[in-house]
Structure 1
Amino acid sequence: MDIIHKRLCLDQYSFNPLVTALTQTSCILAISHFFHLLLKPVGQPGPVAQVLAGVVLGPSVLCRIHHIREFFIQPTSADYYQFFSYLFEIIFMFLIGLETDISFSKCNLYVASIIAYSGLILNSILGAALSPLFIKLLRIPDKKIQFATIIMMILANSASLVVIRLVADLKLDTSDVGRLAVTSSLVNEMSCVLVASLYQAVGSWKSFSFLFLTFLVTGSLIGLNQYLALWINKSDRENKYVGNAYVSFIFFLILVLSFIVETCGYSSTISCFFVGLMFPRKGKTCRTLLSKLSYLVHNFLLPIYFGYIGFQFDVNYLNSIATIITVVVMILLNFGGKLVSTLAACHYLKIPLNEGFMFSLILSLKGHFDLQLINVEPNSRLWWNPYVHSVLLSTVVLDTVIGGIIVAFTVKREEKSLSHKQTSLELHDPESELRILACTYGSRHSSGALGLISALGGSKRAIVTPYLMHLVELPEKRKTNLMYHQLAEGDQYSDEDDYGGDDVVEINDAVDTFTSETKILINIVKAVSSFASLYEDVCTGAEDRRISIIFLPFHKHQRIDGNMEIDKEGIRATNQRVLRHAPCSVGILVDRTVTGFQQPHGSNSVQHVATLFFGGPDDREALAFSKWISSHPQVNLTLIRFLPVREQISGSHNQDNEFLLTVSTSNSQTVIDNASLVEFYNRYIASGKANYTEKHVSNGGETVAALTELRKVYSLIIVGKGGRGNSSITTLSDWEECPELGTVGDFLASTDFNTNASILVIQKHQHTTDDSFRGDH
């Protein structure tokens, strides 16, 4: 007890160092939040505000006051800061690995590696060339080669942790530019860590054997997690998340791994990252880790970590010409080397120069591995003293602040070029990534949403990134006289995460089963709001995730007897508002779960799908949607074109056996329709992936008769909402029950049609100048 008392309450210090450390973190959070409120309107990201908060609290500003400096800066408090930083880094790198988009990284690893290594190599050369200057300016007496190596590493490195947070705050984390920057920074930093480890390993046989031990232990934990996650998923089926005991055990294993690696004398950064990267993504174990870590890390640990970086900055050491020259030259080398090398790499890769300029700025950010190189024990190296430490640290802090500010202003200036452009499917390359958002209000809607995701992800070449958004109506607050401890779970004081009830567990189980069968990873998100504002969450979520098409469930569901029953009226109102304000195309699925479209993956029977084409932008969007599902081996797609009898159609084949279509009309929309049909025919119908037929009708009655012939043949019928103009063949009745489905979609979904097929009605993205949500409440 006396030992603990002496350690925590040292007589020679006025304050408990642990209390000092906790007070410092609280002040950093408060000041960084204040700076964030000031800087957010001008587009500055969180890391800049957090580093500045640390600078203000540190010896450069507030700690100039004697009493504040005496409280915050104590010899023993640095031990607590380093210990907390060590724990934070373990959690950070594991979470980064867990959140890494593996599919994107695999597809773009070559491009990202060229961008990363170009900056790494050139900045290392510049660092080596000018190291003699820094050695002279800083008066390094010994171990000059080791010091030069440190300078090379600092200039070459890109802090992936800072890059990821900056890209997320600027809402570039779902864009190709942002994800490529993150992948490049990860390649850069992991390469620097690996090179530093190899440099240390070649020093002696003992170091080399320890390096081999770290690889062995890391690989063993990665292999163990494959079985551990599977066992945890099976043993805790009844809950939506796994228990805290399982999560604690996983963290304990990671902590043990990190301790072993650090004891061997190497950085555990790369080990923790690869453990997270290779952790099984299927099941509730990964989902629980992401849920528990993301909020804690992004809202508390990262602000504290960045704030502590700024806290270590001491302007008092920049008091000589030699020091200022060293800092300025290192900053210029960092930005100049990254700029020249990255622009050269982007020119070779045919990437636009404006994106290359942004890459160079983002990859110039420092703050993670650099600090590990700098924050060594004082006097452990002959050349290492507080003066040198402060100079190098000042360089890291200024690089991060200056780079972050310039990146933020660049993003704001290039907002239009960086905005989401793939807002519809018509001009979307089927072999490029397709980002979709499927919405569900409950477990009964999940099967239809998963069926569409399955159909879209059937091709081996298709790159589909699906999101499943669980829309939960926010219940009205109920008055109660019960005390907090008397409330049942889910009552007034329950956390928002409890909303959704048993539907959450059933949806998660359905997604887990789907993932295990199809190997398609689905990102589950939840939106909790009143029906009056739920559409805002859908539209904002689609815009932030750069979605190309949103799928909404119809406000009716099929009962066991086959009849359709109305759900809550708020679902229909939400669908109508999403159609008006969506930042991309929208599809409404009338899901007949019992008799209609079933999930193609794992099905023994082929799903027969029909795409109806009357003409217009919405039908072209439905045709574009058909490109993806026609490639699924378990889908038999038929394109059915409806034509007025008076139009004369002629088709021919050229020398390359391509289908050419000629229509006796000069209507511009018809010309576009024909071009889309010819392209679809030559690419999909001629290759046997889809079938084609025509229906010649003269009025709405004949259209109804032709549609009636289809009702027992297909399990899914796809059609555009409208936009066809005043066409006699689509005037099917004098009234509409559901105008949000269009004339044809409304008829197909009505009880008069009497079909067993599911209906998908698609509306192409409507470009509007007013994106306001007002007026829909």
Structure 2
Amino acid sequence: MNEADATRVAKEEGCWLRSSIRTITYAAFAAGMLILILASRFLHLGLRRLRQPRIVSEFIVGLVVGNSRILRMILDSHAPSTLEAFAQITRASYMFVNGLEMDAGNILRRPGRDAIVAYAGTAAGVVFFLAMHRPLFHREMLSMVQMENGAAALIVALLLANTSSSVLTRLTTELKISKSDIGRLTVNAGIHNDMVTSLLLCFLSAAAYGGGGEDEKKAAHLLTPSMGLEWAVARALLAAVELAVQACLILKVAPPLMGWVNERNPEGKRMKGLDLSLSLLFLGGLCFLFSRLFFELSATAFLVGLFLPREGRLSTTLIRNFNFYLSAAGLPLYLCSAGLKTDLHAWSGVSVGRTRWTWASSFSMLAALFAVSTAGKVLGTLLSALRYGFRFPEALALGLLLNVKGHLHIFCTHAALVMLLLVMSTIVFIPLVVAAIVWRARRKGRGRRMALQWHDPAAELRVVVGIHGPHNVPAMIALVEATRGGKSQGPLAVYAMDLVELTERAGAALVRGHHGALDAVTVNDEAIRESSAVTTRALEAYAVDSGLTVRRLLTVSHFSNMHVDICNSAEDTLAVLVVLPFHRRQRLDGGMDPGHPGFRQVNEKVMKHAPCTVGILVDRGLGGPQGASASYATRRIAVVFVGGCDDREALFYAGRVAQHPGVQVTAIRFLHDAAGGGGGQEAETRVDDACFAEFYERHVAGGGDGVAYVEKYVANGAETVAALRAMEPLYDLFVVGRGGARSAAMTSGLSDWEECPELGPIGDILSSSDASATASVLVIQQHATKCPLPAADPDFAVI
């Protein structure tokens, strides 16, 4: 082999070796990123018990890796360049979907209560920070917080006054207050704050630091020294013109394309991949073009999303897909990269001017910055909330929640260590304090006697109705209509709750609800949206016909903890009754299918943990073939009274239903044909007799309600079954108690044949597959408590 061939072979071997090393390095880097994501997920499983959002666990993992030399060695070779490119895509994607989820038209509307609370807190926070930043943060602190002039200080003040609406939405959901009055106010105020402050930050950063092009890198870091106040003022007019031109171009160009895509992809059909790809290419090109001409990329992405129409198939698809990318990989890796750049050693041993930083001085500055950034915002929100009638603890909780930080703050401050830790401290601290306040407010209502027996008939009756799908709606409407009672009864407030299983697909489609919606969270999955839309149309049609207001609720949970959402909603709404569909459905041949075991598990847990009375509705065509329109037909309802607290609750429910002009009620009392009540049942029998005597005098003897009365004497469970079978064809609905504290003589032996013990012996007989194919059953379990406590805090009640 000559020298030329040897040189060529050596070069080829060197290239192969470098390629192999590069491949191994990138593989190690990819494995490291995967480990970071998995580690943050596992850490979140533990931290979420402390009400911490996932952003905390993701940052902690990055912080640990960033300050560990051994773990950092795997990521050091290609992490800076790769993560920086990845971070820019993540920032732009987050800002785009954040803007798309907001409604820019709210800025032009007359401000409501939520907007006034948001603006009051924002203004107070900005003013307080600007008044205090000079004496507290002098020039020697520029290594930690860089503010050389008023323009930079104003940007920092606005940034600290910003509320992360996405983190706030998830936080209120975790705290189970998203459906309460204060929860809805918090979420709507947070969206107002986030939209206005983000828009002002885009404008001020462009005015102070320049727009796109070569100034883009400077504008990406808002906490760098500016080029002078005069230059910033001169840029203000140009930035205003750029903002107006950009908004006009977006509103002129984008809606026609989105309308064309929506027409080609109607609801119910799978969206065409080519249309979605062309839309993404168009919007991406729009963001890149405007970032070259006007603002930097992240600000441009926010403005493009903000001025796009939120309604339509394309918008919901974009929100769902971008949120899935951000939650699965984008934000976890970005937060891990922020942690990698956070060197805790910078807090000690660094000299700036005449100041030598130590751990004590660094924490002192962090505490001062936290106090200044929090005090004004919380005080302004607190005063405005008190003006609207909130109590002090709840107004304080509102102020703390609206001070929560999030991803935007990390995007802007990842180069400033103290600011980054300030952001994380608010995210860690605020959920703990607010959870304590919410726990205190809810603790007031623990042990309340939320049952029909103790409910004032003249007061408003609040009922939560669970819905699995559109097939439950006709029967639930018929039941709600009967529950309205007569004119002498208090008004009825109905909360219809969609019960949706939390799957990977549904979880990725969770987004913030529309401004003013009852739920703070909604789902953009097409199948779920279509099912919910059918349910909503039926309920709205009934509401128009009846004049009754039906409020909508949503729970998206795993079956293992769906009962928690239902029970918390009942508590938040101050509900007296929760009605859930039976897990089994009637087949065409009249029998019952096996049903969904997940919903059966939910029903059992709700009956065990609910803070009020619970009803399970077994539907056999109660709503009629015409659905809601059949709810006004005459109903024949029988209430079965054997004895016990659950039967007494069923009797009080029948007393309300009996006053409805379209309902015919028959009270059927089963009596033991042997003398005596039997040992330990004597006290319970006396209570049953007194309760039934009161019902008889009010609804039967008076004759005003037209309630019929039937007595059945039985000696054992077999005779009880025979009597019930004979009466099944006579009624449309049986109202029975589950069987708490009931005499065992008349139901002896029935539990040996129970298919569904959660319905009790009588309810199980009437609901079995060989029972009547036309008689529906409502099984009622009374809420029991040892001692009544004060009512729950009304600020946490859904109104």
> How far apart, in 2, do the equivalents of 1:42 and 1:90 lie?
30
The CA distance in 1 between the partners of 2:71 and 2:528, in whole Å, is: 57
Amino acid at match of 1:120: T
Q: Deviations over 1:404-432 (max 9, x none)?
A: 14533652685464579799675699989
| Structure 1: distance between partners of 2:786 and 2:308 | 42
Structure 2 distance, partners of 1:155, 1:698, is: 72
Tell me whether 1:62 sits opposite 2:68 in the alignment. Answer: yes
Corresponding residue number in structure 1 for 2:667: 642
Q: CA deviation at 1:315?
A: 3.8
Worse-matched range after superposition: 360-369 or 185-194: 360-369
**Structure 2 counterpart of 1:212, one-letter code:** A
Query: 1-side partners of 2:123 and 2:311: how far apart?
Result: 31
Once the two structures are aligned, what percentage of the paired residues are identical?
19
Question: Are positions 1:194 and 2:199 aligned together?
Answer: yes
In 2, are the aligned partners of 1:695 and 1:706 still within 8 Å (CA)?
no
Task: List aligned pairs for 1:573-584, cutoff 5 A.
Answer: 577-578=604-605, 581=608, 583=610
Q: For residues 17 and 342 of structure 1, do their structure 2 counterparts lie closer, same or farther at Cα, with a shift above 3 Å needed?
A: farther
Task: Specify the alignment match of 1:483 in structure 2.
Answer: none
Matched AA of 1:278: R
What is the alpha-carbon distance in structure 2 between the residues aligned to residue 372 and residue 625 of structure 1?
56
* Structure 2 partner of 1:688: none
Are the structure 2 counterparts of residues 148 and 431 from structure 1 closer, same or farther at C-alpha, using a change threshold of 3 Å? Answer: farther
* Contact 2:128/2:372 (<8 A) preserved: yes
Distance in 2 of aligned mates of 1:359 and 1:347: 10
| Superposition deviation, residue 506 in structure 1 | 9.3
Aligned-partner Cα distance in 1 for 2:70–2:769: 78
Supply the AA of the counterpart residue of 1:597.
Answer: G
Query: Which of 442, 466, 474 is the aligned partner of 2:497?
Result: 466
Partner SS state of residue 620, structure 2 = coil
Which residue of 339, 363, 367 maps to 1:310? Answer: 339
Aligned position for 1:385:
none
Describe the SS at the equivalent of 1:151.
helix
Determine the C-alpha separation between the residues in 1 that align with 2:566 and 2:532: 20
5 Å matches for 1:146-161?
A: 146-161=151-166
Aligned partners of 1:113 and 1:187 also within 8 Å: yes
Alignment of structure 1 residues 336-735 onto 2, 5 Å: 336-371=375-410, 373-374=412-413, 389-390=415-416, 394-408=418-432, 411=435, 415=439, 417-418=441-442, 426=452, 436-439=465-468, 447-449=471-473, 451-452=475-476, 464-469=495-500, 511-516=532-537, 518=539, 536=560, 539=563, 542-543=566-567, 549=578, 551-553=580-582, 555=584, 557-560=586-589, 563-565=590-592, 567=594, 577-578=604-605, 581=608, 583=610, 586-593=614-621, 597-598=624-625, 600-601=627-628, 603=629, 606-609=632-635, 618=646, 637-638=662-663, 640=665, 642=667, 667=687, 692-699=705-712, 718-723=735-740, 725=742
> Structure 2, unaligned stretches of length 5 or more?
1-17, 106-110, 208-232, 485-490, 508-524, 541-550, 672-684, 788-799
Choose 356-365 or 459-468, whichever is displaced more: 459-468
Task: Flag the structure with larger Rg.
Answer: 2
Secondary structure at 1:120 match in 2: helix
**1:438 partner amino acid:** I
In the alignment, which of 756, 781, 788 is matched to residue 763 of structure 1?
Answer: 781
Distance 2:158 2:277 in 1: 35
Corresponding residue SS for 2:77: helix
Query: 2:60 corresponds to which residue?
Result: 52
SS at match of 1:301: helix
Aligned to 2:371: 332
Larger relative helix fraction: 2
Inter-partner Cα distance in structure 1 for 2:390 and 2:689: 34
- The CA deviation at 1:362 is 2.9
Asked whether the 8 Å contact 1:138–1:322 carries over to 2, the reply is no
Instruction: Summarize deviations over 1:8-48 as a string: whole Å, max 9, x none.
Output: xx99x999999898577445424434644664565544322
CA distance in 2, matches of 1:154, 1:432: 45
- Taking a change above 3 Å as real, the CA distance of residues 468 and 518 of structure 1, as seen in their structure-2 partners, is same
Question: Unpaired runs of 5+ in structure 1?
Answer: 1-9, 103-108, 376-388, 441-445, 473-493, 498-503, 528-533, 647-664, 681-690, 770-777
Check the 8 A contact 1:439/1:469 in 2, yes or no.
Answer: yes
What's 2:92 paired with? 86
Structure 1 segment 82-121 matched on structure 2, within 5 A: 82-91=88-97, 94=100, 110-121=112-123
Contact 2:464 2:570 in 1 (8 A): yes
Query: Matched residues in 2 for 1:188 and 1:707: separation?
Result: 61
Matched-pair contact (CA < 8 Å) for 1:621–1:763: yes
CA deviations 1:710-764 (Å, max 9, x no partner) are 9789755555445585599xx6999577565456645655799857343333334
- In the superposition, the TM-score normalised over structure 1's length comes to 0.64
Whether the 8 Å CA contact 2:117–2:384 is kept in 1: the answer is yes
Contact 1:57 1:311 survives alignment (8 Å) = yes
3-state SS, counterpart of residue 192 of structure 1:
helix
The amino acid across from 1:90 in the alignment is: F
Q: Is the Cα contact below 8 Å between 2:729 and 2:772 reproduced in 1?
A: no
Go from structure 1 to structure 2 and tell me whether the alpha carbon gap of 1:331 and 1:292 turns closer, same or farther (over 3 Å shift): same
The answer on whether the counterparts of 1:232 and 1:242 sit within 8 Å (CA) in structure 2 is yes
Aligned residues: 648
Change in 2 beyond 3 A, CA 1:544/1:580: closer
Query: The residue matched to 1:557 in structure 2 has which SS?
Result: coil
Q: In the alignment, is the contact (CA less than 8 A) between 1:434 and 1:464 conserved in 2?
A: yes
Shift in CA distance, 571/610, structure 1 to aligned 2, threshold 3 Å: farther
Amino acid paired to 2:84? A
Distance 2:599 2:50 in 1: 38
Aligned partners of 1:247, 1:258: CA distance in 2, in Å? Answer: 16
Determine if contact 1:51/1:310 at 8 Å carries over to the other structure.
yes
Distance 2:539 2:258 in 1: 21
* RMSD, matched Cα: 6.0
Give, in angstroms, the shift of residue 111 of structure 1: 4.4
